Amino acid sequence: MAFNIKKIFSYDGDEDNLNGTEDEYYTMGETEALKEADKSGNKMILLEPRAFSESQQIADHLKNRNSVVVNLKRVTTDQAKRIIDFLSGVIYAIGGSMQKIGVGIYLCAPKNVNVQGKISDEAEKSAKNNNDEELDW
């Protein structure tokens, strides 16, 4: 179902400044929109690897300019460390960023995605508060 939003609101402004891409976006079908998202790398991928061998799949998503949220709760501690080390190298190579967003959960973003804000860990807060209390100034 396609509609023209300008007709709904009776837009009488300067039409020369509009480039037509917005109209095309609203009139394209779901399949076409998904294809466009695949081309431009605008996906958020959620993954729960079960082995280190799945790290390359995560790297491939990042190379394709998609953001990846990685939940490491299904792997052992040693495998989780290896995966984080591998992904840190990938992130460095593509100029992206990695942020811990929970216990064993990381957001990996390519260079084209700007991540704003930071999620603080309650365990880190309590450890910092305990350390501050132990110091005698």
Q: Which pLDDT score, from 0 to 100, does residue 31 have?
A: 62
For residue range 46-62, list pLDDT tens digits in order.
Answer: 999 999 999 999 999 99
Q: Is 72 part of any domain?
A: yes
**Average model confidence (pLDDT) for the chain?**
77
CATH number of 86's domain: 3.30.110.150
For residue range 17-40, list pLDDT tens digits in order.
Answer: 445 554 554 555 556 655 655 566
Q: Is 91 part of any domain?
A: yes
Q: Which pLDDT score, from 0 to 100, does residue 135 have?
A: 41
What phi and psi values does residue 47 have, to the nearest 5 degrees? -130, 145
Q: Is 102 part of any domain?
A: yes
Q: Is 126 part of any domain?
A: no
* Mean per-residue pLDDT, 118-131: 65
Q: Is the pLDDT of residue 65 over 70?
A: yes
Q: Is 99 part of any domain?
A: yes
What CA–CA distance (Å, rounded) separates 47 from 105?
10
Q: Is 124 part of any domain?
A: no
Q: Please give the tally of structural domains in the chain.
A: 1
Residue numbers of the domain that contains 81: 44-114
Q: Is 20 part of any domain?
A: no
Antiparallel, parallel or unpaired: β 97-102 and 105-109? antiparallel
Q: Which pLDDT score, from 0 to 100, does residue 118 have?
A: 84
Q: Are 113 and 88 in contact (CB under 8 A)?
A: no
